[in-house]
Amino acid sequence: MQCGVVMEELAVEVLARREVMALVEVARMEPQAWPDVGDPGSVEEIREAFGRRCWVQYMPHPAGAIEVRETGWVG
């Protein structure tokens, strides 16, 4: 039975990673579409994007790149 539990945890981790990576791609394609959550007066533009069960905090860079600062998973 323990093997089943480990496999279930691995499956959840794989699904979480896929959903986070999909959200990162959405944020990268249109980084300005998500709210800026940086502190007032900050020189960094920090944004957050939200999926159904995950979120990503990132900083947009020129040429379509984003720097992922943090990710989270609900569940």
pLDDT at 63: 83
Q: Kindly give the confidence (pLDDT) of every residue in the chain, 75 residues in length, as a single tens digit, with 9 standing for 90 and above.
A: 455 667 788 888 888 889 999 999 999 999 999 999 989 888 899 999 999 999 999 999 988 899 999 999 886
The structure's pTM equals 0.80
Domain range summary for the chain, segments of one domain joined by +: 2-73
**Residue that the structure tokens 């093997």 belong to:** 3
- Predicted pLDDT at 1: 45
Helix (H, G, I), strand (E, B) or coil at 30: coil
